[in-house]
Amino acid sequence: MIILGVDPDRGWALVLDCKVISAGTVKGIEALEKIIADVGSYCRDGRQELIVRIELSETKRPYARTQNLPLPVRFKIQGDVGANREKAKSLGRLCGRLGLRYEFVEPAARKLNAKEVKAITGYKGRTSEHSRDSIMIAWR
């Protein structure tokens, strides 16, 4: 089974049979949509079963961490979180239109660094924060 982990901010990761085979970051939601469509097309041709896991935060955790920040900064963070949620839901709608199996998953409780991701998954490639998030979304 192929699992495509997606961080709506910019990250993606492919896991095949519990092994990370590729991960990266892209610019813009259109690029993530293309990756989903391309991987979906490959899998629909009968090559592999696919599930797309999309990060979607439904909790209020980001707000709790911002209580001591100035009001304009809190508004910016809240806007970014809202935009990220909308991107995730849009990617879910795309998966639905393409007939792909997908699920929304909560983000990890904390960000992992490259060393931690490597220790957990064995993945040796270069990673950014967004690709590491995607790896851990797919790895669950």
Cβ atoms of 132 and 114 within 8 Å: the answer is yes
Question: Residue 59: helix, strand or coil by DSSP?
Answer: coil
pTM for the model stands at 0.84
Extract the tokens encoding 74: 């809190």
Q: Which residue has the higher pLDDT, 129 or 82?
A: 129
pLDDT above 90 (res 71):
no
pLDDT for position 63: 52
- What is the DSSP-derived secondary structure letter of residue 96? H
- Domain edges within the chain: 2-139
pLDDT above 70 (res 60):
no
| CATH of span 2-139 | 3.30.420
pLDDT above 60 (res 104):
yes
Cβ atoms of 58 and 11 within 8 Å: the answer is no
Query: How far is residue 55's CA from residue 2's CA, in Å, rounded to a whole number?
Result: 17
pLDDT for position 64: 53
Q: Which whole number is the average pLDDT over 12-38?
A: 95
Q: Which whole number is the average pLDDT over 104-116?
A: 90
Q: Give the pLDDT band of residue 132 (cuts 50, 70, 90).
A: very high
pLDDT above 90 (res 74):
no
Instruction: Give the burial class of 73: count Cβ atoms within 10 A of its Cβ; 0-12 exposed, 13-18 middle, 19 or more buried.
Output: exposed
Instruction: Give the burial class of 60: count Cβ atoms within 10 A of its Cβ; 0-12 exposed, 13-18 middle, 19 or more buried.
Output: exposed
pLDDT for position 47: 75
